[in-house]
């Protein structure tokens, strides 16, 4: 069965999910492009960088998590709720991130790509 997932097999034969070949998040059976959500969040002047990824959800299969780097981390105007409200104004409800986190910087791989899941 080909799922498009990339995995690592350790010495004991355990398989660990590490990434996807294609960047698609499946929320409740709906296919969502993280790029579309990232563009909406990056439209905010205070947001320097953003990454969107799928995280495990018991009910929907995956949930959307957005990690943001902002100019002023202590800004009272940017909260997870305000980011979700901003997304809700531009995106369908199933595309609004359920989890919003703030980070000081994005972790990059040696090739310069954002490392998701380890921010």
Domain that holds residue 27: 23-103
HSE-CB of 118 using CA atoms within 13 angstroms: 9
pTM: 0.74
On whether residue 15 sits in a domain, the answer given is: no
The torsion of the CA quartet 32, 25, 63, 73, rounded to 10 degrees, works out to -80
Domain count, the chain: 1
11 belongs to a structural domain: no
pLDDT attached to residue 63: 95
> Does any domain span residue 110?
no
Quickly tell me which residue has 């997870």 as its tokens.
Answer: 80
Confidence (pLDDT) at 72? 72
Residue 86 lies in a domain: yes
- Which CATH number does the domain housing residue 96 bear? 3.30.300.30
10-residue block means of pLDDT along the chain (119 residues)? 72 79 84 94 93 92 93 76 96 96 80 62
Q: Is residue 79 part of a domain?
A: yes
Q: Per the domain annotation, does 117 fall within a domain?
A: no
For residue 8, being part of any structural domain is answered with no
């Amino acid at each position: 069965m080909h799922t498009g997932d990339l995995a690592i097999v350790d010495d004991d034969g355990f398989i660990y999910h590490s990434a996807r070949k294609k960047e698609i998040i499946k929320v409740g059976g709906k296919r969502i492009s993280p790029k579309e959500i990232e563009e909406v969040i990056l439209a905010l002047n205070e947001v320097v960088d953003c990454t969107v990824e799928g995280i495990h959800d018991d009910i929907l299969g995956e949930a959307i998590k957005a990690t943001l780097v902002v100019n002023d981390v202590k800004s009272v105007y940017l909260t997870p709720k305000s980011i979700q409200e901003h997304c809700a104004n531009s995106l369908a409800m199933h595309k609004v991130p359920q989890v919003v986190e703030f980070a000081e910087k994005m972790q990059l791989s040696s090739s310069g790509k954002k490392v998701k899941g380890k921010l």
